[in-house]
């Protein structure tokens, strides 16, 4: 059986840091409130003229270098983003050109904060069906461009960044001892649109719009949906929650991470958390956390790693990987 193995990870955060104290000068908030309710201490913000494809390029190069794989080996580039450089073309084709890749295919995936998990499912399917051998998957976002900076309920939560992985087809036995992606579970419920959306777009307002969220309701659904996706993924692999070495969640809010861990009985020292340092970077958050835990040596070969996310749509999902 063909398995999609992650060969390398990359991450990039723009240079400018916006602290909670600085935000408190712009809107009626405080460092204490943001830390206590979200766990966020700071976020990185793109500079004037800096685009999502710039962040994606840095993260992609990092992943290719760690993998020891050249651009000429790539068959497919997938960028998960909700903040593309332009309405079209896809940011993935911009990235393809900037990497100097002149073959294969490139496209974007739009599932907001779940984009990286959706991208993982697409990449794994292309590899398993033999349509691609080597895939670059990037989550990249300039969420600061979508924020209403006068809305304290949302502007304190989000940040900019990018993370990337290179996946490659490898032969496996077809059981859960194989290295690589063991499964990916995807879900959505479009009826929940109004809880989290952007109030603009080409076919509605002809503007980019701003992010709107009913935070409390999103929070409530997040713990339930994420827990269900984790259980489904683990059960399908014939594994147990206690078999998972590392949980790498979407970095939205430390309280969501803690609530999910508590609900499923996951020890908190098994949860990778980077939300304090960059806030919610939407589709970039899972690969940013993953790259951190790989770089600092926490995630080791042979371990079971569970990725999960939930975002606008609603969309949510989980992916189980043997490292």
Annotated catalytic residue within 225, 250, 253, 278: 250
In DSSP terms, which residues pair with 137 in a beta bridge?
A: 78, 165
Q: Scanning residues 185 to 204, which ones bind ligand UT7 (CB under 6 A)?
A: 196
Helices 52-67 + 91-99 axis angle, to 10: 50
* Site stretch for ligand UT7 (CB under 6 A), options 98-106, 133-141, 185-193, 210-218: 210-218
Q: Residue 311, interface with ligand UT7 (CB under 6 A)?
A: yes
Binding status of residue 289 toward ligand UT7 by CB under 6 A: no
Q: Is residue 156 a contact residue for ligand UT7 (CB under 6 A)? A: yes
- Cα within 13 Å of Cα(262), Cβ side: 7
| Nearest approach, Cβ of residue 233 and ligand UT7 (Å) | 19
Closest residue to ligand UT7 in the complex (CB): 215
Q: With respect to ligand UT7, which residue has the nearer C-beta, 38 or 227?
A: 38
User: Distance between CA 157 and CA 152 in Å, rounded?
Assistant: 9
Helices 215-236, 254-264: axis angle to 10 degrees equals 40
The residue (of 156 and 167) whose beta carbon lies closer to ligand UT7 is 156
Q: Is 210 in the active site?
A: no
Active site (annotated) includes residue 155: no
How many residues sit close enough to ligand UT7 to count as binding (CB under 6 A)?
22
- Run of H or E including 59: helix 52-67
87 Cβ contact partners less than 8 Å away, ≥ 6 residues apart: 202
In sequence order, the 6+-apart residues with CB closer than 8 A to the CB of 297 are none
Question: What are the beta bridge partners of residue 171?
Answer: 2
Q: Which stretch in 64-72, 79-87, 150-158, 175-183 sits in contact with ligand UT7 by CB under 6 A? A: 150-158
Regarding 221 and contact with ligand UT7 (CB under 6 A), the answer is: no
Catalytic residue, candidates 113, 155, 225, 278: 113
Query: Which of 4, 20, 38, 292 is close enough to bind ligand UT7 by CB under 6 A?
Result: 38
Footprint on residues 60-99 left by ligand UT7 (CB under 6 A): none
φ, ψ at 229 (rounded to 5°)? -65, -40
Tokens found for residue 4: 């999609």
Residue the block writes with tokens 């993935």? 92
Instruction: Identify the residue among 16, 17, 33, 35 touching ligand UT7 (CB under 6 A).
Output: 33
Is 224 a binder of ligand UT7 (CB under 6 A)?
Answer: no
DSSP E strands, the chain: 2-12, 16-19, 42-45, 76-80, 105-109, 134-142, 160-171, 180-188, 196-198, 211-213, 246-249, 304-311, 315-322
Indicate if 250 belongs to the active site.
yes
The residues that are catalytic are: 113, 250, 280
List residues near ligand UT7 by CB under 6 A.
29, 33, 37-38, 113, 152-153, 156, 196, 213, 215-216, 218-219, 222, 250, 252-253, 256, 280, 310-311
């Amino acid at each position: 059986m063909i398995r999609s193995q992650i060969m390398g990870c990359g991450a990039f955060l723009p240079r400018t840091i916006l602290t909670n104290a600085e935000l408190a000068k712009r809107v009626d908030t405080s460092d204490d409130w943001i830390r206590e309710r979200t766990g966020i201490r700071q976020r990185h913000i793109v500079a004037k003229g800096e685009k999502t494809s710039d962040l994606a390029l840095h993260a992609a190069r990092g992943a290719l270098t760690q993998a020891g794989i050249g651009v000429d080996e790539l068959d497919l580039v997938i960028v998960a983003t909700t903040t593309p450089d332009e309405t079209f073309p896809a940011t993935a084709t911009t990235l393809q050109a900037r990497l100097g890749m002149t073959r294969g295919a490139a496209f974007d995936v739009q599932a907001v904060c779940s984009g990286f998990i959706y991208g993982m499912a697409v990449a794994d399917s292309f590899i398993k069906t033999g349509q691609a051998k080597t895939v670059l998957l990037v989550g990249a976002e300039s969420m600061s461009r979508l924020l209403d900076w006068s809305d304290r309920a949302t502007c304190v939560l989000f940040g900019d960044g990018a993370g990337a992985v290179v996946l490659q087809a490898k032969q496996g036995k077809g059981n859960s001892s194989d290295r690589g992606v063991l499964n990916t579970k995807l879900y959505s419920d479009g009826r929940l649109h109004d809880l989290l959306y952007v109030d603009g777009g080409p076919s509605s307002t002809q503007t980019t719009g701003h992010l709107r969220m009913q935070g409390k309701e999103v929070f409530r659904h997040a713990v339930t949906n994420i827990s269900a996706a984790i259980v489904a993924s683990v059960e399908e692999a014939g594994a147990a929650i206690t078999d998972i070495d590392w949980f790498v969640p979407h970095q939205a809010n430390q309280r969501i991470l803690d609530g999910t861990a508590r609900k499923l009985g996951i020890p908190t020292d098994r949860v990778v958390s980077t939300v304090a340092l960059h806030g919610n970077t939407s589709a970039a958050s899972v690969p940013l956390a993953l790259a951190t835990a790989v770089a600092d040596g926490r995630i080791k070969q042979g371990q079971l790693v569970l990725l999960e996310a939930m975002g606008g749509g609603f969309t949510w999902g989980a992916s189980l990987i043997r490292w």
